[in-house]
Amino acid sequence: MHNNLKTQFCGLSLNSPIVLLSGCVGFGEEYTRIDGFSNADVGAVCLKGITLEPRLGNIPHRVCETPSGMINAIGLQNPGTHAVINNILPKLDKVETRFIINISGSSIEEYGEIAKRFDDTDIDAIEINISCPNVKEGGVAFGNDPDMSYQVVEICRKNTVKPIITKLSPNQTNIAFSAQRCIDAGTDGLAVINTLMGMAIDTKTKKPIIGNNQGGLSGPAIKPIALLKVHQVYQVSKHHNVPIIGQGGITTANDAIEFIIAGAATVGIGTALFYDPLVCHKINKGISQYLSDNNLGGVDELVGTLALNSTVLTCDTGINK
């Protein structure tokens, strides 16, 4: 591993700025069976999202390919917190990389209880998926309401000393304000962004392809949106030294470098793994070469170096009139 790739994130020392995203690598063993893949190539692995009790997930189809992307609606299929702590965590090889647990809940109390249970484990950090519906509030997603986002982070903060990373939803009016509220509640890091909501339709049956009717859109199609959201969140997070995992459509080293320039301290790889399981090694090599070519000693020297054009902001939609 190149020395200039080593980085710090939420107090954790990482071998690489690459983080494998939740839902894309199962519980850490999905890609270790592939020849040429090594966990040493990644700084951290976000394990599959879990809930307090086991869940079977959504009806099929759960995944479908779209132009330059993918829609998924797995429905948080998982064996539950107890099984993960007792049966899965002890089997993880913690020598080569860090592991982050991703937690979800249908109530504020459920988030707090899961965080409390993982506080006594050797997991390195806890990522909070606040894009889940709040059952008590009629299904409104926690992450789309800054006040509810605050409450979720707050209860997790009270129940664990582990680093907390809050995964922000792009499906909201003001992501920077939401980020500020999560920082106020005690989050140590932010993951920007979660998937956008999307749909695909079978023209023969005139029905949605996804069994859940809609799902999360990921892949290169969302990269420009994700880049902007990282930039917007960084304007808030930089004042509090709260680092960002930039994610959304990263498939090349250049993509990753763009996110770092926009303000991300680390970069998340997800959908790209489905068609190129060895992409992380290539991205590491490209980032390292870029740092060397620009006489930069490490990734931290590149974070947030975006030089904006001098323009007057207007209400123009971007279409020349």
Which residues participate in catalysis according to the annotation?
Answer: 132
**Torsions phi, psi of 90, nearest 5?**
-65, -20
Q: Can you tell me the distance from the alpha carbon of 321 to that of 316, in angstroms, rounded to the nearest whole number?
A: 9
Contact predicate 42/16, CB 8 Å: yes
Q: Where are the beta strands (DSSP E) in the chain?
A: 7-9, 12-14, 18-20, 44-46, 63-66, 69-72, 98-103, 125-129, 133-134, 140-141, 164-167, 189-192, 196-198, 201-202, 207-208, 215-218, 244-247, 266-269
CB 53 within 8 A of CB 117: no
Prior bond to 193 cis, omega within 30? yes
> Which pairs count as long-range contacts for 215-218, CB under 8 Å and 24+ apart, including other chains?
215/62, 215/63, 215/64, 215/71, 215/72, 215/73, 216/71, 216/72, 216/73, 217/66, 217/69, 217/70, 217/71, 218/69, 218/70, 218/71, 218/72, 218/248, 218/249, 218/270, 218/271
Sign of the alpha-carbon dihedral angle for 81, 84, 90, 93:
negative
Going by their DSSP bridges, the two strands 98-103 and 125-129 should be labelled as parallel
Phi then psi for residue 34, to 5 deg, are: -90, 130
Nearest CA among 60, 66, 306, 37 for reference residue 195: 66
Give me 314's structure tokens.
């207007």
